Amino acid sequence: MKIEHIRVRHAIDYSPHHHAYINPYNGCPMDCPFCYWLDDPEWEGRLQVRDNIVEMLRQELVQWDAKERIYVGSICDPFCNEEIHAGLTRQCLELLKEHKMPVLLTTSATNRIIRDYLSLLIEMREQLTIVVELARPPFMKAMKSGEHHPGIENANLLHQNGIRTWTTYAPIIPGVSDLEGVLNVLDEEIPVYVEELLCKEGTTQAERVKKWVKQDYPEAYVTVREMIETQDYTDYNALMKKYERNERILNFPFRI
């Protein structure tokens, strides 16, 4: 992955839903085949480090309404490996802590950063929600072979330390996803947001998902291919019926 260092004109952006976002990085090395950002032809193969984001955020927070929630991480994982060297997310969080801003941070939580930053995250627990995204192909596969899932371990660690922790396990793909396995090892007080596979035939996501499933879950390939081609979610609905009364299983959007 090519690492580029850039400067930005402002730190806070707005999503189409008018949510205020900070992204210390732009890009992600996780290569999820269902990633929405695959629509962007410039998405893959590079990660931009926004060198001056802390400086810009410091200036913008002077005039910011402290009640407005800031989302951290929409086009990056704020706790990606590059953060170990650059430390931009940590510095942004320290500023947000100082300004008592409500924060919702989304991460795959697969490296040591959660542990390295635990004391800061604990200090922020009154203002912080962390969403740990668990449907990450390498770790889904590892779980299937009986190995641990670092995202689940880190979500449990955050929750045990009093930090409001939610998870996502999305998309749920029949024959591929192991929701039951996740629920068995995830702390029972942590909610799990789920959704179906939202990708249409002819898109990059459809092509990548089919390739991934054929290679890693060949027994599920025909079902997944047909689901994409027909957009018929009967198998997904049948799978999720089991959880319809389970209060831990939630649907998007997040209930903030």
Q: Is 88 in the site for ligand SF4 (CB under 6 A)?
A: no
Rounded CA separation 151/159 (Å): 12
Q: Number of residues in contact with ligand SF4, rule: CB under 6 A?
A: 8
| DSSP class of 203 | S
- DSSP readout, 27-66? B-TT--TT-GGGGSTTSTTEEEEETTHHHHHHHHHTT--T
The answer to whether 130 contacts ligand SF4 (rule: CB under 6 A) is no
Kindly report the length of the chain: 256
How many whole angstroms separate alpha carbon 9 and alpha carbon 227? 43
Q: Is 35 in the site for ligand SF4 (CB under 6 A)?
A: yes
**Contact (CB, 8 A) for 106 and 70:** no
Is residue 250 close enough to count as binding ligand SF4 by CB under 6 A? no
| Position 37 contacts ligand SF4 (CB under 6 A) | yes
Task: Out of 11, 22, 28, 131, name the contact with ligand SF4 by CB under 6 A.
Answer: 28
Greatest extent of the chain over all pairs of C-alpha atoms, in Å: 56
CB nearer ligand SF4, residue 30 or residue 250: 30
The verdict on 30 binding ligand SF4 (CB under 6 A) reads yes
Q: Is 173 in the site for ligand SF4 (CB under 6 A)?
A: no
User: What would the x/- binding string for ligand SF4 be over residues 46 to 85, using CB under 6 A?
Assistant: -------------------------------x--------
